Amino acid sequence: MTELILALDVPGREEALRLLDRLPALRWVKLGSVLMTAEGPPLVRELLGRGLRIFLDLKWHDIPNTVSGAVRSARELGVHLVTVHASGGPEMMRSAARAAGESLAVVGVTVLTSTGTQAASVDAEVERLTSSAVESGLSGVVCSPLEIERVRPLVGAGRLIVVPGIRRPGDPLGDQARVAGPAEAVRRGATHLVVGRPIRESADPTATLDEFLAVI
For 8-47, give the DSSP string.
---SSHHHHHHHHHT-TT--EEEE-HHHHHHH-HHHHHHH
Q: Give the Cα separation of 51 and 44 in Å (integer).
A: 11
Count of C-beta atoms within a 10 Å radius of residue 5: 24
DSSP β-bridge partners for residue 82 = 56, 106
* pLDDT per residue of the chain (216 residues) written in tens, 0 to 9: 899 999 999 999 999 999 999 999 999 999 999 999 999 999 999 999 999 999 999 999 999 999 999 999 999 999 999 999 999 999 999 999 999 999 999 999 999 888 766 556 898 999 999 999 999 999 999 999 999 999 999 999 999 999 999 998 887 777 777 888 999 999 999 999 999 999 999 999 999 999 999 998
Give the pairing of strands 140-142 and 105-109: parallel
Count of C-beta atoms within a 10 Å radius of residue 92: 24
* 30 carries an active-site annotation: no
Q: Give the Cα separation of 85 and 104 in Å (integer).
A: 16
| Residue in 59, 80, 128, 200 annotated catalytic | 59
Answer yes or no: are the C-beta atoms of 70 and 78 closer than 8 Å: no
Distance, C-alpha 41 to centroid of its chain: 18
Task: Please state, rounded to an integer, the average pLDDT across all residues of the chain.
Answer: 95
Q: Where are the alpha helices (DSSP H) in 22-139?
A: 33-39, 41-49, 64-77, 90-100, 122-135
Q: What is the pLDDT of residues 87-144, one digit of tens each?
A: 999 999 999 999 999 999 999 999 988 876 655 689 899 999 999 999 999 999 999 9
Longest dimension (CA), the chain: 45
Closest among 57, 58, 44, 51 to 16, alpha carbons compared: 44
Residue 59, burial from CB neighbour count under 10 angstroms (0-12, 13-18, 19+): middle
